Amino acid sequence: MLTRKELNKKISGVRRSTKAFRANIQMLLIECAAHAYVDGQTTPMAQLYDAANGADRLAMAKWAQKFGFSQAKADGKFGLIRAAVNDAAFDDGDALIEYLTEHATSWFDMGKTKSDIAKDVDIAVALMALAKRCAKAKANGGKITAERIAVTAAFKELQAAC
């Protein structure tokens, strides 16, 4: 096991590499936006999205839609938002890059906050936790009440709430 000092050093290293990672993604998103704007190519945006496995790709997709002239599609590709291209008035890709570098929100600020995540409810995770709790109670000799009518009524309430 790492000492607390070694652990803190490793965590600091993650902080530094995360900062560099975020900056690299931001720069690449801006470059991909310029390609979408100048020549209508959204393939670079899709390639960056695919390459960033482990990052907040939902935030990247939101950024692409708001600033990058691209919209994520259900098939994993990105489509050009022609109306956004037509409404923009940049002389060239470099002018767009300069503008986005100064004014675009950072992609990682477009994701969910800890507070947002805490508000979310994942039914499957909650049911798995309940199953584990029941298994533990059963193993320890506890009583598990599962009256069919009451469970059915509770499930209907759950469905109505969702």
Task: Report pLDDT digits (tens) over 32-42.
Answer: 999 999 999 99
> What are the b/e assignments for 96-119, b being 16+ CB within 10 Å?
bbeebeeebeebbebbeeeeeeee
Reported confidence tier of residue 152, pLDDT bands at 50, 70, 90: confident
pTM, two decimals, is 0.71
Residue 59: CB atoms within 10 Å: 18
Reported confidence tier of residue 157, pLDDT bands at 50, 70, 90: confident
DSSP 10-46: HHHHHHHHHHHHHHHHHHHHHHHHHHHHHH---HHHH
Cα(111)–Cα(8) distance, integer angstroms: 26
Cα 9 to Cα 1, 18, 80, distances in angstroms: 14, 14, 43
pLDDT score at 136: 87
Backbone angles phi, psi at 59, to 5 degrees: -65, -40
Amino acid of residue 74: A
Reported confidence tier of residue 159, pLDDT bands at 50, 70, 90: confident
pLDDT score at 117: 65
Task: Report pLDDT digits (tens) over 81-128.
Answer: 999 999 999 999 999 999 999 999 999 999 877 676 667 777 777 777
Closest alpha carbon to 42 in 75, 1, 13:
75
